[in-house]
Amino acid sequence: MDLSDDDLISSFVSDAQFYQAQGLYDQTLSCYIQCLEFSKNRWGEEHPAVVTSLNNLASFYYSQGRNGLAEYFYVKSLELTRRLWVAEHLDVATSLNNLASFYYSQGRYSEVEPLYIEVLVIRRKLLAAEHLDVATSLKNLAYLYCFKSKYSEAETLYIEALAIKSKLLGKEHPDVATSLNKLAEIYCYQAKYSEAEPLYIEALKIRCNLLGEEHPDVANSLNNLATLYCSQGKYNEAETLYAQALALKCKLLGEKHRDVATIFNNLATLYRYQGRYREARLLFTQVLALRRKLLGEEHRDVAVSLNNLAALSYSQGMYREAELFIIQAGSIIKKLLGEEHIDFATHLNNRAEICRFQGKYQQAEQFFMQALAHKRKLLGEVHPDVANILNNLAVVYYSQGKFSEAEPLFIQALAIIRQLLGEEHPDFATSLNNLAFFYYSQGRYSEAEPLFIQALDILERRLGTNHPHTFSVHYNLADLHDSLNSEQ
Query: Quick one: pLDDT at residue 234?
Result: 92
Q: What is the pLDDT of residues 153-167, one digit of tens each?
A: 999 999 999 999 999
Query: Quick one: pLDDT at residue 1?
Result: 33
Cα 480 from Cα 445, distance rounded (Å): 7
Query: Quick one: pLDDT at residue 390?
Result: 97
pLDDT under 50 in the chain at which residues? 1-3
Domain map (residue ranges) of the chain: 176-254, 267-326, 338-407, 423-488
Q: In sequence order, which residues have a C-beta less than 8 Å from that of residue 335 and are 6 or more positions away? A: 298
Closest CA to 69 of 77, 58, 54, 78: 58
Q: Please indicate whether the domains covering 338-407 and 423-488 agree at the CATH topology level.
A: yes
Query: Quick one: pLDDT at residue 488?
Result: 65
Q: In sequence order, which residues have a C-beta less than 8 Å from that of residue 356 and are 6 or more positions away? A: 364, 392, 395, 396, 399
What's domain 176-254's superfamily in CATH?
Tetratricopeptide repeat domain (1.25.40.10)
Query: Quick one: pLDDT at residue 205?
Result: 97
Q: What are the Cα distances from residue 235, in Å, to 267, 282, 356?
A: 10, 19, 29
Cα 21 from Cα 243, distance rounded (Å): 35
CATH, domain range 338-407:
1.25.40.10
Query: Quick one: pLDDT at residue 104?
Result: 85
Query: Quick one: pLDDT at residue 6?
Result: 66
CATH class assigned to 423-488 = mainly alpha
